[in-house]
Every structure is written in structure tokens, then in C-alpha cells.
Chains A and B, each alone.
Chain A
Amino acid sequence: MPPKKLSSLPTKERTLFGRLIQEYESKKHKQGLKTADAILKKFPDHGETLCMKGLLLASVNRREEGIELAKKGVRFDLTSFICWHALGILNRMDKNYEEAIKCYGQALRIEGGGNLNLLRESAFMHLQLRDYPPLVDKRLTLLKMQPHVRSNWVGLAVAHHLAGNHEEAARVLTGYQDVMRDIPKRNYEHSEILLYHASILQEMNEHVKAEQFLEANKARILDTKAYSEILAQSLAKQGKVEEAEKIWRGLIDRNPECKAYFVGLLSVRGIDLESRSDPGKSDEALALFAEIQEKHPRSTAAKRLSLVFARGEEFHKLASAYLRNGLTKGIPSIYSDLKSLYQDDAKREAIEVIAESLRSEWSPKVEEGTDATDPPSSYMWCLYYLAQHYSQQPGKVERALQYINSAISHSPTQPELHMIKARVLKRGGDLQGASFAMSDARLLDGQDRYLNSKAAKYLLRIDEVEEAVKTVGLFTKPDAPDPVSDLNEMQALWYLVEEAESHVRKGETGLALKRLHQVDRVFQEVYDDQLDFHSYCLRKMTMRAYVSTIRFEDDLRSHPQYLRAALDLIRIHLDLFDRPSSSVDGEGDKGGKNGEAAALSEEEKKKLAKKAKKAELRAAAASATGGDKKKSNAADAKASGNNDEEEVPPPLEDKDPMGEELLKKTEADPLGEAEKFLGVLMRMAGRRVETWTAAFEVWYRRNNWVGCLSALNRVKALSADHPDLNEMIVRIKRVDLSNLSQPAKSVVEKGLKGLVEPEEKSLEVVAVEGMQRSPASAEHVLGSAKALFTLRGAEAKRDVLELVLGLTREEVGCSLKTLIKAREFLKNKVKAAEEEIQRFDQEGSKVFPLADVFKRHEELKEYRRVKLEERDGWNVGREEEQE
């Protein structure tokens, strides 16, 4: 950092200041701080020294202090390049990119505008902010200053491209190719840029140009696969069918397992995977696959895609061969491979017939000398397949259980069987049994991290948080302060969300908030990590991958785990708003009927608090010794005397391990907090109906009726027969508008007008409309029950009870998930009496005999005891030695 402006310091201090700069640059932070203090002792108002000290403070993890100091320094010396640059760096560290860019701008102005480094850094930050016009500006300046640098051309092209100006991007790339004449023949970076150029032409629908461009540059494009793919697409778009087909076929010859090539080939003929309902196109596709299979008889991709298009006899024949092959080979994933075919009922039934006939063909024979030629492993995999097949069909969970139990008695050591048993039980609602089965799978194969994670997840589902932590701890870094902080570091979203939801069930709101905020932070980190990526990719020139990454990052928070976490957060905030006092103590609702649950969770809370404290202490201790123990090598190096000045800043310690502070902060303004996450969802998951039902709830509590109406309309647009719609309409229609100002009132009234048609229809009618549809789904009946309750409150209790109880009738075919929702509604909203809940449970367990929720506490306890005994029966050896 060259000090452009002479410091107004005497010689001695000026020398000291020079040293200070050096010490900062060679990362001698402690010494630097001393030097800075020496200057400040005499000249406490010296701006540049203050700013340098600010930088040094930030380097030793005192960033906030550092920023304050640097701000002060700038005020003393508004015309110093060093001051503005330092404050810019600090703001960038603080991820306050808007401010950082402003500071860099000041520094540039003072210095004359030619500082390449600052220009480049600012450009990266504009990118990070997706602020395209100034990005293009900066990039243009950089190119003008250094037209001989390759990355400046590409940087400008990408800027235009991302800004949506494809034409300019292509023009810049053409310019680049005109200027750069001395590039060696086989240059990978150049090849990438050419492909990037071609893909931009493609995006512009300039297929003729793209083709010509590719042909002209063929010799210089090294990635021939990408070359062929883009060329084939461009040819197809121009209707040059034969040429395009030839290329796709060539690609298939090179890799007959790549489904995308088959899809490409089909698309040339105007066939896509949706064309399966068109017999003519299907036959054409099948003929094509048959022809390719003559050349590539082993191509699984061709066989699997044929199943999409085949029908009737043909399907039976092909699927038989496919299934037989998969099961004799013992491919565990074959069910998830074929599942997408189940959308077609006829195909699902055909597969059932095929698998059942394989089962009888392979089943062990009773009479001697009649055993078939197929190995027992095929039979086992067949049972395994059928168990999965039945488990996802309504009402067949018990059948699935028979199959998987049979398979386990046949081959008890096979971990996958226990895993499927766990899934089957989970679908039947037996979460306890499911957790035992999943842990069995893990105990049979301790090396499989997937099984380990699943076992932990299933433990979390039954709120055994401590056991779950122990289980994941078998795989997390041994030197991490505790397993959860390692998982957080590793960005294991699934774990954070599952643990959070367990805390919600137990009423441990603080910890739930904490984990869910950690999820949010993981997404923020992933987004922030791009900053380094911008410069890296410009050096590597892998622009196609880069642009698709940028686009991916734009939609980052549309990730399903984010949606889930954000919806959980909003729900917690709504609860906090609705009953602000109850958040302090855990009102567990696990199964509900156990008064012990609350007490237990209280006790557990204390235990957890203790544990978290310990972990925190350990983390602090670890950071005090310079991070993890792995660094002991570095420590050795230190002891041997070299490099002892370079300090690694310790990781920030967790000041709120139980989320108590977070809870306090949240309680101050739950709706405000909810709106933050809602805002993200509206931007990132606007097509998800859950976003808008959540928005309705938040805005309803804000008395934001216009917002409610717009949320309602979004729900309607996305899912016209959403089961909760009528309840929402009833609720908003009953709002008392008399307090509103006249203009506001008329806006709301106008919005309300179109909601119900014809307008004079009574709310009574609206409320029960859902259940009168035909066929009325269980969800709609529940929706109507809710609407009735909203409309008439306690008065409607009897009708509501009757409706909800009706859901447990076998012929309704209500899903377990909906029954559980109905139970929650009865318990928490309707406040049904204990006997009424018991009756519901009795009826519920007739339809779902396996489900935990309908079981009494003692029953579950006994079940658990039996399961534990079973486990010890095989997993623990006899105590004494006796031979």
C-alpha cells in the first residue's frame, strides 16, 4: 500500500509509520499494534495510524473495534488514500460491500483512478451484489487500462452477459479473438473461451452463427465432447435433423450410458420424455433404442429409457428383463431407479406382477432336488424390492413389513434390509421401531456414513437428541469441540434442521431457533464464498461453469432445506407472538398425553445446558491453544523458533450455545423476525404455496389485510383447491374493518369482493364447500372443520369433532400425516377433552396400528423395553466366560 500523501509526522514517527505498514503486510499483528500505539501516544489524532491500527485490530478478531477506529481515522484525514483504503478493506471484511465500494471509490479518486487492484476488487464486489451497470463500468475501465490482459476481456464479456446484454458480450469476445493473435495452438483456456462464446450465441438463439462459429474454430476447441453437444443442439434447432442425429449417435457411441445424449437424440425428432402418451412417438423412440441396443447391447440407459415409452406386452417383456437383471446383480438402488414409472398405474401393476412372479420362481423349494438355479441372494433382493414397492402404496404398509421381516429372517446380516425396515415402519408411523431398525443397520455396518447419518436422523425423530449426537460423533472430527459444531462447520443442513425440529417438539425454543439460524448462516456462507470464486474463475477461464454457478447462487435459497428451515422459523415466530409467555418453559407435545414430557424436557434442558457449557469451554480452550490439535505441528514449528510472529486469529467463540440470547431477541419482535425470512421466501420460493400460506398468517397478525388478500390470491393461483383456502377466506371475511380509514377500507373491501362467488353466498356455505367437493379428500374435510371452527368457535365443537373423527373411517383413506394434523387441531385449537382425544386415538390406531401417536405412553414404554431386549439379544455378548 504506497502512501501517496506525505504524512504530517516528524521524521522519527514517519519511520515508525513505515515500519507499521511493513509489520501489517508481513502479518506481524502484535508488533504492529505496539508500533501504532507508539505513534498514537504522541499523535493521538493521526488518521492514517488510527486506520492502520483498525486494520490490525480486525486481524486479531477485534473487527468491530477496528472499524470504529478506522472511521475515526478517516474523519481526521479525509484526503488520505491510506485511510479510505483501510476503511474499505475493513468494510469488505465485514461483508458490507456497499460501504466498501464507496470507500474504494474515495481512495481511487484521491489516487487518480488508476489503481488496478482497487478497481478489480470493486468489480468483484459489484458482482457479489449483482449490481451490473457499475460492474460493466469498472470492467470497461480495466480493459481500457490493460487491453493486453486476457482476463480483462473475458471479465467485461461476463459482465455484459450477466447483465443480460448477450450481444455486447459476444461482441467483446469477438474483439478479444481479433486482438489475441499469439495464443498457442493447444491452449485449454482459449478453448474454454471459444466454447463460452458459442454458448452465448446459443442463448441468443443465433444457431446458424453458433454452428459457423464452432466449425470455424474447430481446431482450437479441445473439449470435443462439449463441442459436439453444442453443435448438435444448434443443428437441431435449425432443423438440420440428419446432421444433428449423426452427432448425437457419435456421442452415444462414446458413452452409451449418458441419458442426456439419448434425450438429445430424441429431441431432434421432436420427442421428449413427456411424449410417452403419444403411441406414434413412443414407437419411434422404442425403435430408435432397439437399433442402438444392437450396437450397444449393454447400455443400461437405453434399456431404462425404453421402459418410459413401452406399453402393454412390450413393457412387460422389457421390464421383466430389467428387473431380473437388477435383482440377480443385487443392485440396491433398483427400486428408486424404477419408482418414477409408478406414476402410470398400469406400469406399477405390471411391475408388481413381474416382481411377484420372480419371487415365486426364486423362493426356496421344499422338496429336495428341486432347487432352482438362481442364488438365494436374488430371492432376498426380490423381497427387498417388493417391501419397498408395497411400502409406498396406501394401506399396504403391513404387507411391506411382512416382506421385509421375511427378508431379514432370510439374510439377517444385510444392513440394507434393516434400513428398509426402518423406512417401512416410519411410513406406518412407528417412529420408535424405525429408529431401532435404522440403528441395527448402522451396527451391522459401522463404516457406512450414510447409515450413520440415517440412524442419527431417526433418533432425532424420536427426540433422542443426546443419542443422535453420540451417533454422528462416531464420524465427526475427533478434535472438534463437539460433534454438532463440526456438523455445522461441514454445513450438514439435514442435521441442523432435524435437530431443530426435535427441539421444537420438546418446546426448547431457544435451541430450535439457534439451529435454524445456523442453517440460514450456512446458506449465507455458501453465498459469501463466491467472492473468492470471481477472481479464481477469471484466472481459470472456465466461464461456462462460472456463469451457471452464478445463476445457481442467485437461486440458492430456493433449496428445499432452506424452505423447510424458513417455514419452521416462521411457525416458531407465530407461536411466540400468539402466546409470548409460554416460550420460557418447555410445553412438550410429543404424543401429548404424558404430563411427564414437560418435566422430562425440563430436566433434559438442564442437562443440555450443562453439556453446551462444557462444549463451549472446550471450544474456548481449543481456540486459546491456537485452534485444533491438528495444528500441533504448527505449534512444534513455533517452538523451534521460526515464524513466531505470525498469528492465526482464533475462531470466534460461541457466546450463546443454548440460543437463550437469540430467543430473547426474537421475543422482542417475533413478527418482524418472521417477516425477514418471509421476505427471502417470497423472493426465492414464490412458486411454493407454503410461502403464501405462511405470508397470510404473518400478515393476518399484522392486521395487514391487503397483504392477506394478496397472499390468498397467490395461494389460489398456485393451487385453486388448496384445502386451507376456505378457512382463510372465512377468516379474512370476518375481519372488522370499522377502524380503518376510508381509503384503506375501500381497498380492502374491493379485494374482498371477488373472493366468494356469488357474493351473497353465506360464510356457512363457504366453510363446508371443501368437504362437499367430489371426491372430497381427507385434507378438504379437515379444511372445512377448521373453517367451521373459525366461523363459530366453541359453538361448532360438536360438528367439528364429528367431522374430524370421521377422518379415521377406513373408507376415507386418510393419510397418517393428515390424521396427525387433525389430532393437533383437536388438541391445540379445538381444545378437545381428554376422552375425545382418546377416542380419536383409538379409531386412529385401527387404521394405522403401527403409529406411535395413537399409542398411550405406557404402551410405548413397554414397546421400547422389548426392542431394547431384542437388541441386546444379539448385540451384547454374554457376561461371564464359560467354556
Chain B
Amino acid sequence: MANSSSSSAIQYQPPPMSYGPRHPAPVRSQLPKRIDVADLTPNNLGQLRKLNTVLFPIPYSERFYKDALSPDVASICKLGLFNDIAVGNVCCRFEPVGESSVKVYIMTLGVLAPYRRLGVASALLSHILKVAEPGSKVSLRAPVDPNAPAPKPKKGKDGKEIKEEPKMIEKVVDSIYLHVQTGNEEAKLFYSKFGFHVAGEVDNYYRRIQPSSAWVLEKKVA
């Protein structure tokens, strides 16, 4: 019989169950898009966990997530949003160098594969460079002397306790650095755009993945 077509006979291919990285988009400036750098909070910490699980082969510790919420690093631990969707993150920490300087260590920086080459990582890294540019000063909470007597809680006029402003001290950012797996040329290319150089190689840096060696990428005062 010819032509006994029914209207709902179309069979669509089911969608794929995994997605590779997005290709560079020549026209990306024309895309209707909004990229934001957002704060990390206890309420969206789940999104950070999800991102790390998908992005990185190594599981991070509970400690890592607790530290990421500390007010000390609020400016250098961020989520990257693309049209309001959490698609990437950057998490750094300050490492003391001598009395008056710190290094910024990038623990994680990553963007979900389908959202790459859209400028999200650039936005995150630019943010880090803005708040902690090597050579600039950052203001950090002074470490609390564990032997000092606890200060008496003060009360305001309304009877409420006033939290004492923490003492702040200024430190100079000596450099920003990170590890990437040896051979991750894409990451190297990406970081080199922002003035990072390979400063060394560490053997047996990774325990569970191959190759186990890592490049140290670093950006110093220009």
C-alpha cells in the first residue's frame, strides 16, 4: 500500500549520553550569553562538588570543601556561571612566603566540556588576577595567637554582642602558580595566554593517574 503515512511516525535519534568539549566558536562574541563570577556559599556548595567530580579525576577531601567556604578565600574561590548555569569553578589558597609575602596556589580551575571556549575560564582567571595580581597587596586576617586570652565579648547599646572586627594585615602577592598534568597542552596554552610559564616539573605528583608527573605553571611580577 502506498502512502499510508501517519503523522506521528517520525522516530528521532535519542540524545547522546555524554558530551565532548565544545569546539572554538568563531562567532562567540555574537552569542546571547552572560558570564558571571559568583560567590561560593553553603547553599551552592553542592554545585562545586558536582563540578569537581565531573571535571577532575581526583576526589577532593571534605577539608577542601570546608576551606573553600572560609571567609579568607571568599575572593579567590568562585563559581563561573554561563547564562546562570554553574559551569565552572576556580578554587585557590594563600600560602605564606616569609613574613610579608604570599603565593596564590590554584587548586582547581575547570569548565564543563560543553561550555568550553566561551570565555568562562578566562573570566575566572581574570578575576583571580584582578584580586591577587602578582606584585599587588592583599589584605588577610591576622592569624589568631592560640595562647592569647580570648577577648571579652563586648555588648552594644541594644544588648547584642558585637563581633570584634578581625585584625587585618597586608601581604604582597609574590606569585600565582599551579600544577597541571604533564602533557596537558591545552591547559598550558590557556595559561600562557595569561602570562604563565612552565617553572618546573614534579615527578610522582599524582598517585592515581598517568602520567604521574606534573608541570608547575607560574606567573610572577611582570
Q: Do the beta carbons of B43 and A377 come within 8 Å of each other?
A: no
- Determine the chain B residues whose CB is within 8 A of the CB of A882 once the complex forms: 61, 207
B190 neighbours in A (Cβ, 8 Å): none
Interface pair A375/B61, CB less than 8 Å apart? no
For A880, list chain B residues within 8 Å (CB).
61
- Choose from B20, B44, B112 the contact partner of A446 (Cβ within 8 Å): B44
Q: Does B1 contact A (CB under 8 A)?
A: no
Question: When chains A and B are docked, how far (Å) is the Cα of A353 from the Cα of B11?
Answer: 10
Structural contact, B65 and A406, CB atoms closer than 8 A: no
Neighbouring A residues of B20 by C-beta, 8 Å: 364
Q: Are B82 and A375 in contact, CB atoms less than 8 angstroms apart?
A: yes
Q: Are A376 and B114 in contact (CB under 8 A)?
A: yes
Decide: B86 and A409 in contact? CB cutoff 8 A: no
Chain A contact residue count (CB 8 A cutoff): 50
Which listed segment binds A: B21-29, B135-143, B192-200? B21-29
Contact pick for A402, options B15, B18, B46, CB 8 Å? B15
Contact (Cβ within 8 A) A413 B61: no
Residue A374, interface by CB 8 Å: yes
Q: Does A792 contact B (CB under 8 A)?
A: no
On chain B, the number of residues with a Cβ less than 8 Å from chain A's Cβ atoms is: 52
Q: Do A383 and B112 touch (CB < 8 A)?
A: no
Candidates B8, B23, B50; contact of A368 at CB < 8 Å? B23
Segment of B30-38, B144-152, B180-188 engaged in the interface with chain A: B30-38
Q: Is the CB of B59 within 8 A of A636?
A: no
Residues of A834-883 contacting chain B, CB below 8 A: 873-882
A245 to B84, CA, bound (A): 42
Q: Is the CB of B62 within 8 A of A409?
A: no
Report the Cα distance A409→B84, complex, angstroms. Answer: 17
A447–B64 CA distance with the chains assembled, in angstroms: 22
Contacts of A873 in B (CB 8 A): 53
Q: Is the CB of A445 within 8 A of B46?
A: yes
- Collect the chain A residues with CB atoms within 8 Å of residue B222's CB: none
Q: Once the chains are docked, how many angstroms separate the CA of A878 from the CA of B58?
A: 9
B112: chain A residues at CB < 8 Å are 410-413
Q: Does A270 contact B (CB under 8 A)?
A: no
Alpha-carbon distance between A330 and B83 when the two chains are bound, in angstroms: 8
CB distance from A445 to the nearest CB of B (A): 7
Query: A27 within 8 Å of B by Cβ?
Result: no
A877 touches B15 (CB 8 A): no
How far is B207's CA from A455's CA once the two chains are assembled, in angstroms? 38
Given A373-B30, A411-B112, also A878-B60 (CB < 8 A): yes
Complex Cα gap A331–B64 (Å): 34
B50-77: CB near A (< 8 Å → 1, else 0) gives 1101100001111111000000000000
Residue of B nearest to A633 (CB): B159
A608 within 8 A of B: no
* Smallest beta-carbon distance B126→chain A, Å: 20
B31–A375 touching, CB < 8 Å: yes
Chain A residues with CB under 8 A of B24: 368-369, 371
Asked if B159 contacts A444 (CB within 8 A), the reply is no
Asked whether, in the complex, the Cβ of B84 is within 8 Å of the Cβ of A330, the reply is yes
| Residue A685 lies at the interface, judged by CB distance under 8 Å to chain B | no
**In the complex, A330 Cα to B14 Cα: how many Å?**
22
Contacting residues, chain B, for A349 (C-beta < 8 A): 7-8
Distance in angstroms between the alpha carbons of A268 and B110 in the assembled complex: 59
Assess whether A92 is interfacial by the CB under 8 Å rule: no
> A365 and B46: CB pair below 8 A?
no
Is B168 among interface residues, defined by CB-CB distance under 8 A? no
B60 smallest CB distance to A (angstroms):
6
- Pick from A346, A369, A403, A876: contact of B15, CB below 8 A: A403
> Does A399 touch B at the CB level, under 8 Å?
yes
Which residues of A are found within 8 Å of B32, using beta-carbon distances? 328, 375
- Asked whether A881 lies within 8 Å of B22 as measured between CB atoms, the reply is no
Q: Are B49 and A874 in contact (CB under 8 A)?
A: yes
Shortest C-beta distance, B110 to chain A (Å), equals 12
A364 touching B25, Cβ below 8 Å: no
- Contact assessment for A411 and B114 in the assembled complex, using a CB-CB cutoff below 8 Å: yes
Tell me the chain B residues, 144-193 only, with Cβ under 8 Å from chain A. Answer: 159
Among A375, A383, A882, chain B packs the most CB atoms within 10 A around the CB of: A375
A443 adjacent to chain B (CB < 8 Å) = yes
Which chain A residue has the least Cβ–Cβ distance from B27? A373
CA separation between A383 and B12, bound complex, in Å? 13
A80–chain B nearest beta-carbon distance, Å: 49
Give the CA-CA distance A446 to B82 in the complex, in Å.
20
Q: Are B10 and A411 in contact (CB under 8 A)?
A: no
| C-alpha gap A405/B17 in the complex (Å) | 7
Q: How does the 8 Å CB contact mask read for A368-396 relative to B, with 1 for contact and 0 for none?
A: 11110111110110010000000000000
A444's contact among B19, B46, B207, by CB below 8 Å, is which? B46
Query: Does B221 reach chain A (CB closer than 8 Å)?
Result: no
CB contact under 8 A between A371 and B64, given known A409-B18, A411-B112: no
Question: Which of A436-455 touch B at CB < 8 Å?
Answer: 443-447
Q: Mark B195-220, 1 if CB is under 8 A from A, else 0.
A: 00000000000010000000000000
B33 with A878: CB separation less than 8 A: no
Which of the residues B17, B49, B62 comes within 8 Å of A406, measured between beta carbons?
B17
With an 8 A cutoff between CB atoms, is A491 at the interface? no
A369 vs B65: C-alpha distance in the bound complex, in angstroms?
38
Pairwise interchain contact A879-B19, C-beta atoms closer than 8 A = no
Q: Does A703 contact B (CB under 8 A)?
A: no
**Residues of the A chain whose Cβ atoms lie less than 8 Å from the Cβ of B25:** 371, 373
Query: Can you show 19 pairs from A to B with CB atoms below 8 A apart?
Result: A349-B8, A364-B19, A364-B22, A371-B23, A376-B82, A377-B33, A403-B15, A405-B17, A406-B17, A409-B18, A410-B112, A411-B112, A413-B47, A413-B50, A413-B112, A444-B44, A446-B43, A877-B59, A880-B61
- Name the 6 nearest CB pairs between A and B, nearest first: A877-B62, A446-B43, A406-B15, A874-B53, A447-B43, A443-B46
By a beta-carbon cutoff of 8 Å, the part of chain A in contact with chain B is 328, 330, 346, 349, 353, 356, 359, 363-365, 368-371, 373-377, 379-380, 383, 399, 402-403, 405-407, 409-414, 443-447, 636, 873-882
- Given A356-B10, A375-B32, A413-B86, 14 more A-B residue pairs with CB atoms under 8 Å apart are A330-B85, A349-B7, A359-B12, A363-B15, A364-B19, A368-B23, A373-B25, A373-B27, A375-B31, A379-B114, A402-B14, A412-B50, A413-B47, A878-B62
